[in-house]
Structure 1
Amino acid sequence: MQVKTIIKSTLLACLLFTSANAMQELVRGNGAEPATLDPTLGEGIPGSNIMRDLYETLMTEDKEGNVILGQASSYTISDDKKVYTFKIRENAKWSNGDPVTAHDFEYSFKRGVDPKVAARYSWYFKILGIKNGAAILEGKKPVSSLGVKALDDKTLEINLHSPIPYFLMGISHVTTAPVPKKIIERYGKNWTKPANIVTNGAYKLQEWVVNEKIVLTKNDMYYDKAKVQIDKVTFVPIPEQSTELNRYKAGDVDYTDELPKSKYQSLLKSIPNEVKVLGRVGTYYYYLNMKKKPFDDVRVRKALSYAVNRDIITKKVLGTGEKPAYTFVPNIVSGYTAPVPEYATWTQKERNAKALSLMKELGYSKENPLKFEILYNTSEQHKRVALAIASMWKTSLKGSVVVSLKNQEWKTYLEEKKSGNYQVARAGWIGDYNEASTMLDLLTVGHSSNSSFYENPQYDKLMNIARSTTDDIKRNKLYADVDSIVARDMPIIPIYQYSQARLVKSYVGGYPKVNPLGAIYTKHLYIKK
Structure 2
Amino acid sequence: MGRRPGSRQGCAARTWLHRAGADGQRRQRPVRGCPRQQLAVGGQHARFDRVPHRSTLQPRRLDDPGRRWTDVASRRPRGRLGRGRVRRHAGSNPPTDEPRRPDHPPQPAPWRGGSRRGDLARRRRCVADQPSRWDASSRNERLARGVPDLALDLPSPTDGGRTYTFRLRRGIRYSNGALVRPEDIRRALERTLIMFRDTYYYGAIVGASACVSRPRRCDLSRSVVADDRNWTLTFHLRRADPDFLYTLALPTAYAVPAATPARDAGSHPLPATGPYEFASYKPGRVVKLIRNPRFRVWSADARPDGYPDEILWKLGLTPAAQVHAVETGRADVAFDGVPPSRLTEVETQHASQVRDNTQAGTTFLFLNTRVPPFDDVRVRRAVSYAVDRGAIVRALGGPDRAQATCQILPPNFRGYRPYCPFTLERTAAGIWQAPALSQARRLIAASGTRGARVTVWIPPNHRPEGAIAVVLLKQLGYRVRAKRVGDYYAKIGDSRLRIQAGVNTWFPDYPAPAAFLNAMFSCGAFRPGTGSNLNASEFCDPRIDRAIARARTLEVSDPALASSLWSTIDRELVDQVPVVPLVNPKHVDFLSPRVGNYQYGPQWPNLLLDQLWVR
TM norm structure 2? 0.68
Alignment partner of 1:197 is 2:274: no
Is 1:356 the counterpart of 2:416? The answer is: no
Counterpart among 183, 203, 223 of residue 296 in structure 2: 223
Q: 1:49 to 1:196 in 2, by over 3 A?
A: closer
Counterpart-to-counterpart distance in 2, 1:384 and 1:174? 32
Do 2:127 and 2:273's aligned partners in 1 also have CA atoms closer than 8 Å?
yes
Q: Amino acid of the residue matched to residue 453 of structure 2?
A: L
Matched residue SS, 2:176: coil
Report what 2:227 is aligned to: 151
Of 516, 532, 539, the match for 1:454: 539
Where structure 1 has 5 or more consecutive residues not aligned to the other structure, the ranges are 1-9
Deviation per CA, 1:392-419: give whole Å up to 9, x if none.
444x425x353425253xxx44322333
Structure 2 distance, partners of 1:40, 1:138, is 15
CA distance in 2, matches of 1:158, 1:514: 29
Residue 333 of structure 1 pairs with residue 409 of structure 2: no
Counterpart in 2 of 1:390? 470
Q: What's the % identity of the aligned pairs?
A: 19
Q: Structure 1 residues 197 and 472 mapped into 2: Cα distance closer, same or farther (>3 Å)?
A: closer
Partner of 1:508: 595
Equivalent-residue separation in structure 2 for 1:305 and 1:133 (angstroms): 44
Q: Deviations over 1:352-398 (max 9, x none)?
A: 22333444455565xx463423322x44xx3333334434444x425
1:183 corresponding residue in structure 2: 260
Separation in 1 of the partners of 2:423 and 2:244?
Answer: 33
How many residue pairs match? The answer is 492
Q: Whole-Å Cα distance in 2 between the matches of residues 145 and 462 of structure 1?
A: 35
Aligned residues of 1:500 and 1:518 also touching (Cα < 8 A): no
SS of the equivalent of 2:123 reads helix
Q: In the alignment, does 2:99 pair up with 1:39?
A: yes
Q: Residue type matched to 1:172 in 2?
A: A
For residues 294-342 of structure 1, what are the alpha-carbon distances to aligned partners after superposition, in whole Å with 9 as ceiling and x for unaligned?
44444443333332212333356431164322121123113x2437353
Counterpart AA for 1:441: N
Write the letter of the residue equivalent to 2:582: I
TM superposition shift of 1:515: 4.4
**TM-aligned CA distance change 1:483 to 1:279, over 3 Å:** same
Distance of 2:316 and 2:452 partners within structure 1: 37
Task: Report what 2:33 is aligned to.
Answer: 16
CA distance 1:34–1:314, shift in 2 (3 Å): farther
The change in CA–CA distance for 1:201 and 1:99 in structure 2 (over 3 A counts) is same
Query: What secondary structure does 2:436 align onto?
Result: helix
Matched with 1:312 is: 391
Residue-by-residue CA offset, 1:256-315 (whole Å, 9 max, x unaligned): 222223543432221112211123332222333456554444444333333221233335
Is residue 36–residue 47 contact of structure 1 (8 Å, CA) maintained in 2?
yes
Question: Cα offset for 1:78?
Answer: 6.4
Supply the AA of the counterpart residue of 2:233: L
Aligned counterpart in structure 1 of residue 560 of structure 2, from 473, 497, 522 = 473
Match of 1:343 among 422, 434, 445: 422
Q: Does the CA contact (< 8 Å) of 1:62 and 1:68 recur in 2?
A: no
Does the 8 Å contact 2:269/2:278 carry over to 1?
A: no
- Using the TM superposition, give the Cα deviation of residue 135 of structure 1 relative to its aligned residue in structure 2, in angstroms: 8.2
Q: Does 2:489 match 1:414?
A: yes
Q: Which moved more, 1:467-476 or 1:295-304?
A: 295-304
Q: Secondary structure at the match of 1:27?
A: strand
Alpha-carbon distance in structure 1 between the residues aligned to 2:541 and 2:483: 30
1:72 lines up with 2:151 in the alignment: yes
Answer yes or no: is the 8 Å Cα contact 1:230–1:523 preserved in 2: yes
Report the CA distance shift for 1:226/1:475 in structure 2 as closer, same or farther (over 3 A). closer
Aligned counterparts of 2:437 and 2:592: Cα–Cα separation in 1: 43
Is 1:373 aligned with 2:452?
no
Match of residue 610 from structure 2: 523
Partner amino acid for 1:23?
A: G
* Displacement of 1:457: 2.3
* Correspondence list, 1:12-161, <5 A: 15-16=32-33, 23-27=84-88, 29=90, 33=93, 37-39=97-99, 41=101, 43-44=116-117, 46-60=119-133, 61-64=135-138, 67-77=146-156, 82=161, 84-112=164-192, 114=193, 117-119=195-197, 122-125=199-202, 144=220, 148-152=224-228, 154-158=231-235
Alignment check: 8 A CA contact 2:390 2:434 kept: no
2:482: which partner in 1? 404
> Is the CA contact 1:49–1:520 (under 8 Å) kept in the aligned structure 2?
no
Cα gap change, 1:383 to 1:202, in 2 (>3 Å): farther
Could you tell me whether the CA contact under 8 Å between 1:87 and 1:156 is conserved in 2?
A: yes
Per-residue displacement from partner, 1:216-248 (whole Å, max 9, x unpaired)?
343334334993332333446669544543444
CA distance in structure 2 between the aligned counterparts of 1:48 and 1:479, rounded to whole angstroms: 27
Provide the C-alpha distance between the structure 2 equivalents of 1:145 and 1:490, rounded to a whole number of angstroms. 44
Instruction: Say which SS state the counterpart of residue 488 (structure 1) adopts.
Output: helix
Residue identity in the other structure for 1:38: E
1:432 and 2:512 correspond: no
* 1:364–1:460 Cα change, 3 Å: closer
CA distance in 1, matches of 2:362, 2:379: 21
**Residues 283 and 330, structure 1, Cα contact 8 Å, conserved in 2:** yes
Give the CA deviation at 1:346: 4.3
| Distance of 2:449 and 2:314 partners within structure 1 | 46
Deviates more, 1:441-450 or 1:216-225: 216-225
Number of the residue aligned with 2:358? 279
Distance 1:240 1:423, change over 3 A: farther
Contact map agreement 2:307 2:612 (CA 8 A) in 1: yes
Query: Greater CA deviation, 487-496 or 413-422?
Result: 413-422
Identify the match of residue 259 of structure 1 among 325, 333, 338. 338
RMSD: 4.0
**Cα distance between partner residues in 2 of 1:392 and 1:431:** 28
Return the offset for 1:511.
Answer: 1.5
Q: Take 1:34 and 1:358, find their aligned partners in 2: how far apart are those partners?
A: 50
Counterparts in 2 of 1:152 and 1:94: CA distance versus 1, 3 Å: same
Partner letter of residue 509 of structure 2? D
Cα distance between partner residues in 2 of 1:221 and 1:308 = 55
Q: Distance in 2 between matches of 1:401 and 1:217?
A: 57
Q: Secondary structure at the match of 1:467?
A: helix
Q: Are the aligned partners of 2:423 and 2:434 in contact in 1 as well (CA < 8 Å)?
A: no
What letter is aligned with 1:463?
Answer: I
